[in-house]
C-alpha cells in the first residue's frame, strides 16, 4: 500500500458525466489499497472564460483580484468530484490551496510553491478519505490567494506528491501520453514510452504544454516518478518520466515543440558601453519579467542593438519599464515589436556531440522556405524563431526530418476538438 497522487485536467472534468468517470478512476486506485490524493483543474474552459469575463470588466485587471477570480474555477471542480466519489459510497473530502497549506511566494499569477503543509493531508488520509485538492492555487504566508500560472495544476500535483513522498504521480489528460510533438499537429506522431526528466523539462519549457514545466522541474528535484496517461483509457500506461542512467541510448531528437506565446522586442541604437545589457535586463528582472532568447548585434559607430523575446503577457509591462526606468539608455522610437513570431525547438539528449543535428534542422526549415530570425542552443535543445504562421509547417518538416512519425494515428479523427 502506498500513496498515489492523481491529477485530472480541465477536459477530464468538463461535465458531470466526466466527473463521474474521474470518480471511477480515483476509486479504482483506492481499491488497489492505495491512499489517494487527487488534484483537479477547473472544468473545461472555465479559466479562459473567467479571464474573458475580467477583460470585459476592465482592460487592465489587478493581478491580486485576477487570482481571487481564477482560483474559483478549481474550487467548483473539487467540490463536485468529492460529491461524485461520496455518491459511490467512499469517503472523500475536498480542500482548496489555503486549507491544505500550499504556501507560495508573494507573486500573483505565476507564484512558485515554497512549502506544502502535510499535517491535514495525512490526517484525512489516515481517516480513510480520498482527498480532492484544488490545483493551480496557493496562499502566501500572509494569507493572500495566488495562482501558479496557466497549466499549473500539474505542478500542484507533483509538489503534493513530493511533500507526501508519494509512490507516483499520475497526470491524466486527453491524450495517451507524451508524443514526439503535439498529436493535434502531427496525427501520426510516435508516442514515447519512457522519457528522461531532462528531455521532458526542455520539451515542456519550449512549448509542449502537455506538462507544466515546473511540474517536471519539481519531479526531477525530488525524484517523483511521473506518468502522463489517458483519462479515457485507464488501462494504458502512457509515458513514464524518470531519471535515465545511460545517456548513450538517447535518440538524437526526442521531440519537437513550438511556443507561440512570445513576442520579440528589438532595441536599436543602444550605447555600446559596458553595463548597457546589465542595466536593461536588470530592470526587467527586478519586475519579474523573464527574458528568453537574446541576440546582440556587432557594434558600429559606438552603437549596437539588442533583440530579445518575452512572454506576450509581459509585453506591456516590459515596454513601460524600458521607457520609464531605462529612458537614458533606450530612446523612444528605437523600440520595435514583433508579435508574429513562434519559437520552434528540437530537444534530445542524444544531440550532445552530434554537430550535424543543427545543420539538419536549418536545412529542413530552408527546404520549406521558412526564414530563421533568431537561433539559440543549449546542450540538448536547438530553437529557431520563425514567423508565427509558419510554426505548424516547421513542426511537420522537423518531425519528418528526424523520423518521428509512424504509421499509426495518435488521435482518431473526432477524438479531440481541433486547435
Environment class of 170 (CB within 10 Å of its CB; exposed 0-12, middle 13-18, buried 19+) = buried
Q: 179 touches which of ligand ASP, ligand ADP, Mg ion, none (CB within 5 to 8 A by kind)?
A: ligand ADP
Dihedral sign for Cα atoms in the order 139, 71, 93, 13: negative
218, 161 in Cβ contact below 8 A? no
Which of 73, 177, 183, 348 is in the footprint of ligand ASP by CB under 6 A? 73
Residues that bind ligand ADP (CB under 6 A): 9-12, 41, 151, 173-175, 178-179, 181-184, 208-210, 255
Least distance (Å) between residue 9 CB and ligand ASP: 6
Q: Residue 321: which of 296, 347, 355, 287 has the closest Cα?
A: 287
Q: Is there a contact between 212 and 241 (Cβ–Cβ < 8 Å)?
A: no
**Would you say 130 and 92 are in contact if contact means Cβ atoms under 8 Å apart?**
yes
Size of the site for ligand ASP (CB under 6 A): 12
Taking CB under 6 A as the rule, does residue 44 contact ligand ASP?
no
Residue 33 or 414: the one with the smaller Cβ distance to ligand ADP is 414
Examine residue 151 and tell whether it contacts ligand ASP (CB under 6 A): yes
Q: Is 215 in the site for ligand ASP (CB under 6 A)?
A: no
Q: Which does 238 bind (CB under 5 to 8 A by kind): ligand ADP, ligand ASP, Mg ion, none?
A: none
3-state secondary structure of 382: strand
Choose the one of Mg ion, ligand ADP, ligand ASP, none that binds residue 374, judging by a C-beta under 5 to 8 angstroms depending on kind. Answer: none
Q: Which residue is nearest to ligand ADP (CB)?
A: 9
CA atoms within 13 A on the CB side of 258: 24
Touching ligand ASP, residues 105-134 (CB under 6 A): none
Contact code string over 1-40 relative to ligand ASP, x by CB under 6 A: --------xx------------------------------
Smaller CB separation from Mg ion, 151 or 183: 151
What stretches of 272-395 adopt beta strand conformation (E)? 291-296, 303-311, 335-338, 341-347, 374-378, 381-387
Question: Smallest distance from the beta carbon of 213 to ligand ADP, in angstroms?
Answer: 12
Q: Please, what is the minimum distance in Å from the beta carbon of residue 281 to ligand ADP?
A: 30
Reading the block at residue 109, the C-alpha cell is: 499569477
- Lookup: cell for 365: 526549415
Q: Which residue is nearest to Mg ion (CB)?
A: 151
396 φ/ψ sector (left φ>0, alpha ψ -120 to 50, else beta): alpha
385 and 210 in contact (C-beta within 8 Å)? no
Q: Is 135 in the site for Mg ion (CB under 5 A)?
A: no
Contact at 8 Å (CB) between 382 and 361? yes
Which of 97, 138, 151, 255 touches Mg ion by CB under 5 A?
151
42 binds ligand ASP (CB under 6 A): yes
Nearest to 230 by CA among 171, 156, 144, 290: 171
Q: 150 touches which of Mg ion, ligand ASP, ligand ADP, none (CB within 5 to 8 A by kind)?
A: ligand ASP
DSSP letters spanning 257-295: EEE-SEEEEEEEEEE-STTHHHHHHHHHHHTT--EEEEE
Q: Are 116 and 133 in contact (CB under 8 A)?
A: no
By beta-carbon proximity to ligand ASP, the closer residue of 49 and 286 is: 49
Find the shortest distance in angstroms from Cβ 22 to ligand ADP: 11
Separation CA 168–CA 4 (nearest Å): 5
Residue number with CB closer to ligand ASP (150 or 400)? 150
73 binds, among ligand ASP, Mg ion, ligand ADP, none (CB under 5 to 8 A by kind): ligand ASP
Cell of 92: 472523500
Instruction: Work out how close the CB of 155 gets to ligand ASP at its nearest, in angstroms, rounded to a whole number.
Output: 8
What is the contact surface with Mg ion in residues (CB under 5 A)? 9, 151
What is the contact surface with ligand ASP in residues (CB under 6 A)? 9-10, 41-42, 47, 73, 135-136, 150-153
Amino acid at each position: 500500500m502506498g500513496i498515489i497522487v492523481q491529477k485530472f485536467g480541465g477536459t477530464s472534468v468538463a461535465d458531470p458525466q466526466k466527473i463521474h468517470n474521474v470518480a471511477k478512476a480515483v476509486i479504482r486506485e483506492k481499491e488497489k489499497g492505495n491512499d489517494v490524493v487527487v488534484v483537479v483543474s477547473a472544468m473545461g474552459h472555465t479559466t479562459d472564460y473567467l479571464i474573458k469575463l475580467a477583460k470585459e470588466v476592465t482592460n487592465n485587471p489587478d493581478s491580486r483580484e485576477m487570482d481571487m477570480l481564477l482560483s474559483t474555477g478549481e474550487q467548483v471542480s473539487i467540490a463536485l468530484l468529492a460529491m461524485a466519489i461520496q455518491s459511490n459510497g467512499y469517503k472523500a473530502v475536498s480542500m482548496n490551496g489555503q486549507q491544505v497549506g500550499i504556501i507560495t511566494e508573494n507573486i500573483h499569477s505565476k507564484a512558485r510553491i515554497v512549502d506544502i503543509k502535510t499535517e491535514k493531508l495525512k490526517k484525512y488520509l489516515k481517516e480513510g478519505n480520498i482527498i480532492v485538492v484544488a490545483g493551480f492555487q496557493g496562499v502566501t504566508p500572509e494569507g493572500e490567494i495566488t495562482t501558479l500560472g496557466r497549466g499549473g495544476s500539474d505542478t500542484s500535483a507533483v509538489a503534493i506528491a513530493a511533500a507526501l513522498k508519494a509512490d507516483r504521480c499520475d497526470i491524466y489528460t486527453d491524450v495517451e501520453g507524451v508524443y514526439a510533438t503535439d498529436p493535434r499537429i502531427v496525427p501520426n506522431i510516435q508516442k514515447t514510452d519512457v522519457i528522461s526528466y531532462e528531455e521532458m523539462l526542455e520539451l515542456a519549457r519550449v512549448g509542449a504544454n502537455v506538462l507544466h514545466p515546473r511540474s517536471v522541474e519539481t519531479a526531477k528535484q525530488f525524484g517523483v516518478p511521473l506518468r502522463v496517461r489517458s483519462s479515457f483509457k485507464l488501462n494504458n500506461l502512457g509515458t513514464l518520466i524518470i531519471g535515465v542512467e545511460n545517456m548513450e541510448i538517447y535518440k538524437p531528437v526526442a521531440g519537437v515543440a513550438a511556443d507561440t506565446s512570445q513576442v520579440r522586442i528589438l532595441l536599436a541604437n543602444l550605447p555600446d558601453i559596458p553595463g548597457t545589457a546589465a542595466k536593461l535586463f536588470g530592470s526587467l528582472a527586478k519586475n519579474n519579467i523573464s527574458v528568453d532568447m537574446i541576440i546582440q548585434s556587432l557594434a558600429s559607430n559606438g552603437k549596437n542593438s539588442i533583440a530579445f523575446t518575452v512572454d506576450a503577457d509581459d509585453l506591456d509591462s516590459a515596454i513601460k519599464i524600458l521607457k520609464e526606468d531605462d529612458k537614458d539608455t533606450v530612446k523612444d522610437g528605437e523600440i520595435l515589436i514583433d508579435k508574429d513570431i513562434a519559437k520552434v525547438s528540437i530537444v534530445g539528449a542524444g544531440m550532445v556531440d552530434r554537430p550535424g543535428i543543427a545543420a539538419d534542422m536549418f536545412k529542413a526549415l530552408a527546404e520549406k522556405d521558412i526564414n530563421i530570425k533568431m537561433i539559440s542552443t543549449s546542450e540538448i535543445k536547438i530553437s529557431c524563431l520563425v514567423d508565427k504562421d509558419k510554426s505548424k509547417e516547421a513542426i511537420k518538416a522537423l518531425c519528418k526530418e528526424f523520423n518521428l512519425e509512424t504509421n499509426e494515428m495518435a488521435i482518431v479523427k473526432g477524438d479531440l476538438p481541433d486547435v
